[in-house]
Amino acid sequence: MTRRITLALTGASGAPYALRLLECLVQADYQVFVLASSAARVVLKTEQGIDWPASPQALSQQLCADYGAREGQIVACGKEEWFSPVASGSAAPKQMVICPCSMGAVSAIAHGASDNLIERAADVVIKERGQLILVPRESPFSPIHLENMLSLSRIGVTIMPAAPGFYHQPQSVGDLVDFMVARILDHLGIEHQLMQRWGYQKQ
Ligand X SMILES: Cc1cc2nc3c(=O)[nH]c(=O)nc-3n(C[C@H](O)[C@H](O)[C@H](O)COP(=O)(O)O)c2cc1C
Residue numbers at the binding site for ligand X (CB under 6 A): 10-13, 37, 39-40, 42-43, 46, 102-105, 137-138
**46/153 with CB nearer ligand X:** 46
**35/181 with CB nearer ligand X:** 35
Render the chain in DSSP notation, one character per residue: ---EEEEEE-SSS-HHHHHHHHHHHHHTT-EEEEEE-HHHHHHHHHHH-----SSHHHHHHHHHHHTTPPTTTEEEE-TT-TTSGGGSTTTS-SEEEEEEE-HHHHHHHHTT---SHHHHHHHHHHHTT-EEEEEE--SSPPHHHHHHHHHHHHTT-EE--S---STT---SHHHHHHHHHHHHHHHHT----SSPPTT-S--
R_g of the chain, CA atoms, integer Å: 16
Query: Minimum CB separation from ligand X for residue 59, in Å?
Result: 16
Query: Minimum CB separation from ligand X for residue 36, in Å?
Result: 8
**120/137 with CB nearer ligand X:** 137
Query: Minimum CB separation from ligand X for residue 20, in Å?
Result: 17
Q: Which residue is nearest to ligand X (CB)?
A: 11
Query: Minimum CB separation from ligand X for residue 39, in Å?
Result: 3
**26/103 with CB nearer ligand X:** 103
Query: Minimum CB separation from ligand X for residue 100, in Å?
Result: 7
CB 137 within 8 A of CB 46: no
**37/84 with CB nearer ligand X:** 37
**6/73 with CB nearer ligand X:** 6
Residues paired with residue 106 on neighbouring β-strands, in sequence order: none
Query: Minimum CB separation from ligand X for residue 103, in Å?
Result: 4
